[in-house]
């Protein structure tokens, strides 16, 4: 045991005020136990970065899944039996398999690939911005924050426009049990949506084997292994491709959409920020980096210790689960002066860890940055401010992913 307070990351207190709870944990020590799980919560920037850059000691290969409530176990089992088992893909894998999978999808997220996508994303942002009503309270999340990244990831994957509502539904289901506690009825509904995702995407992958369409799905379809192929060969099993696509749908939509909406709470009412973006569109890059630092849509990441080690004076044994607080690291007073303030002019603004670091750095970081920069550049041409309401809406009840479910705000057009 270590003489540091245990942090109840599942508690209402933590979910209601993660910033305050993490600040107190950070002051108590760089590594604190959690209750009731007895994970080790890593709170300080230097320590979080150390773990991220040492995948040999801190593995991402974690196959701990949420336990399905007993009263719906049979119903959920019957749904899952109709699809494919989810397996380890990018998020829960290490080299060399992680390297192989990342190489398969990396082409779509390179600077060259994003450059080709940029004018299309800008056109979508213009269309969404033009539709925002003047002087009315709206749900900015529903009208702009969510549709833009859904549009972008659908283009990356090569899915038609009529699938965008499905992408929203699938990504919501994919993250619904991550760090949260849905009701039994909600859980069954999410499982049904995930089965629909699998059946739909498997059919799309198979169709693209013979008649490839532009997009990442067609490239992945060419890698499908024949039934019974050895996992060590060049072919990739359908179950693995479906897990990979599930991760990409979430990474390309869920976190970016919530980050864009959360940014309105951070600076939307400040007319000076919008004016500076109009006068210097490159300033939007500073705004994005500072906003993602504070928002930290992926609040925490999990690792498992593979060998005896010491972190901040705490002895860790193999098998110990470690919870990396990206959100806490991004507000570490040792790195960021006045860490809770929104300051797009701050030095070392890109020192944040919102996208992770090392071999598991978010593969969609470039896409998320591009979408967000374009969003603020386009909106700045249309609005003087976007003022969040006093009660702007509820947040996700998760200690892993955090963001607004709604962002009620009033748009003041130019």
Pull the structure tokens for residue 146: 């969510």
**Percent share of the chain, pLDDT over 70:** 96
CB of 216 closer than 8 Å to CB of 251 = no
Locate all alpha helices (DSSP H) within 211-363, ordered by sequence.
216-221, 238-249, 255-267, 271-279, 283-295, 326-329
CB of 62 closer than 8 Å to CB of 49 = no
C-alpha to C-alpha distance for 147 and 130, rounded to whole angstroms = 14
Contacting residues for 374 by C-beta, under 8 A, at least 6 apart: 118, 121, 122, 125
Pull the structure tokens for residue 4: 């540091």
C-alpha to C-alpha distance for 174 and 177, rounded to whole angstroms = 8
Tell which wins on pLDDT, 384 or 2: 384
pLDDT higher than threshold 80 for residue 106:
yes
Closest C-alpha among 256, 294, 84, 77 to residue 175: 256
pLDDT of residue 235: 52
Q: pLDDT tens digits for 240-256?
A: 889 999 988 887 788 89
Q: What is the mean pLDDT of the chain?
A: 91
Long-range (24+ apart) CB contacts under 8 A made by 205-213 are 205/238, 205/241, 208/158, 213/158
Phi then psi dihedrals of residue 282, to 5 deg: -65, -20
Domains in the chain, start-ordered, CATH in brackets? Answer: 12-413 (1.10.630.10)
C-alpha to C-alpha distance for 301 and 185, rounded to whole angstroms = 27
314: helix, coil or strand? strand
pLDDT of residue 176: 87
Tell which wins on pLDDT, 89 or 336: 336
**HEC per residue, 359-387:** HHCCCCHHHHHHHHHHHHHHHHHHEEEEE
- The pLDDT of 225-238, averaged and rounded, is 54
Query: Which of 29-33, 61-65, 84-88, 278-282 has the lowest average pLDDT?
Result: 61-65
User: How crowded is residue 246: how many other Cβ atoms within 10 Å of its Cβ?
Assistant: 22
pLDDT band at 64 (very low <50, low <70, confident <90, very high): low
In angstroms, the Cα distances linking 204 to 88, 213, 220, 235, 246 are 21, 10, 11, 18, 14
Closest C-alpha among 129, 141, 147 to residue 396: 141
Tell which wins on pLDDT, 330 or 229: 330
pLDDT band at 233 (very low <50, low <70, confident <90, very high): very low
Closest C-alpha among 365, 378, 366, 386 to residue 281: 378
Cis? peptide before 96, omega within 30° of 0: yes
pLDDT higher than threshold 50 for residue 228:
no
pLDDT of residue 71: 92
C-alpha to C-alpha distance for 45 and 376, rounded to whole angstroms = 28
User: How crowded is residue 385: how many other Cβ atoms within 10 Å of its Cβ?
Assistant: 20
Helix (H) or strand (E) holding 1: none
pLDDT band at 2 (very low <50, low <70, confident <90, very high): low
C-alpha to C-alpha distance for 132 and 129, rounded to whole angstroms = 6
In angstroms, the Cα distances linking 362 to 321, 356, 357, 365 are 21, 6, 8, 5
Long-range (24+ apart) CB contacts under 8 A made by 202-207 are 202/84, 202/238, 202/242, 204/159, 205/238, 205/241
Query: Which of 49-53, 235-239, 403-407 has the lowest average pLDDT?
Result: 235-239
- The pLDDT of 297-314, averaged and rounded, is 96
* Dihedral sign computed on CA atoms, order 193, 196, 202, 206: negative
Q: pLDDT tens digits for 112-152?
A: 888 989 999 999 999 999 999 999 999 999 999 999 999 99
297: helix, coil or strand? coil
Locate all alpha helices (DSSP H) within 235-282, ordered by sequence.
238-249, 255-267, 271-279
Tell which wins on pLDDT, 127 or 230: 127
pLDDT band at 229 (very low <50, low <70, confident <90, very high): very low
pLDDT of residue 85: 87
- The pLDDT of 370-375, averaged and rounded, is 96
C-alpha to C-alpha distance for 246 and 194, rounded to whole angstroms = 9
pLDDT of residue 191: 94
């Amino acid at each position: 045991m270590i003489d540091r307070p245990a942090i109840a990351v599942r508690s209402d207190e933590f979910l209601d005020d993660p910033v305050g709870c993490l600040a107190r944990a950070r002051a108590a020590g760089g590594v604190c136990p959690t209750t009731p799980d007895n994970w080790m919560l890593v709170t300080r920037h230097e320590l979080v970065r150390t773990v991220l850059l040492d995948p040999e000691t801190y593995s991402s290969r974690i196959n701990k899944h949420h336990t399905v409530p007993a009263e719906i176990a049979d119903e959920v089992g019957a749904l899952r039996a109709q699809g494919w088992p989810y397996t380890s893909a990018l998020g829960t894998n290490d080299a060399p398999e992680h390297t192989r999978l990342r190489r398969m999808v990396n082409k779509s997220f390179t600077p060259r690939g994003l450059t080709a996508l940029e004018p299309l994303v800008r056109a979508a942002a213009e269309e969404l911005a033009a539709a925002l009503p003047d002087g009315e309270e709206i749900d900015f999340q529903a009208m702009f924050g969510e549709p833009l990244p859904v549009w972008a990831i659908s283009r990356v994957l090569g899915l038609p426009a009529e699938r965008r509502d499905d992408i929203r539904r699938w990504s919501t289901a994919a993250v619904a049990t991550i760090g949260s506690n849905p009701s039994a009825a909600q859980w069954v509904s999410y499982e049904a949506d995930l089965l629909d995702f699998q059946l739909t995407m498997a059919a799309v992958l198979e169709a693209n084997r013979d008649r490839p369409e532009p997009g990442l799905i067609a490239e992945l379809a060419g890698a499908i292994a024949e039934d019974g192929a050895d996992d060590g060969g060049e072919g990739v099993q359908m179950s693995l491709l479906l897990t990979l696509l599930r991760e990409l749908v979430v990474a390309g939509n869920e976190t970016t959409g919530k980050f864009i909406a959360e940014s309105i709470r951070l600076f939307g009412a400040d007319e000076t920020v919008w004016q500076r973006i109009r006068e210097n569109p490159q300033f939007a890059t500073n705004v994005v980096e500072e906003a993602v630092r504070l928002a930290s849509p992926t609040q925490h990441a999990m690792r498992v210790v593979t060998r005896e080690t010491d972190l901040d004076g705490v002895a860790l044994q193999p098998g110990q689960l470690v919870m990396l607080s990206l959100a806490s690291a991004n507000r570490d007073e040792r790195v960021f002066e006045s860490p809770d303030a929104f300051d797009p002019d701050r030095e070392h603004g890109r020192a944040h860890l919102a996208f992770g670091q090392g071999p598991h750095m978010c593969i969609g970081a470039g896409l998320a940055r591009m979408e967000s920069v374009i969003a603020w550049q386009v909106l700045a041409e249309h609005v003087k401010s976007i003022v969040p309401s006093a009660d702007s809406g509820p947040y996700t009840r998760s200690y892993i992913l955090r963001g607004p479910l709604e962002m009620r705000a009033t748009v003041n057009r130019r």
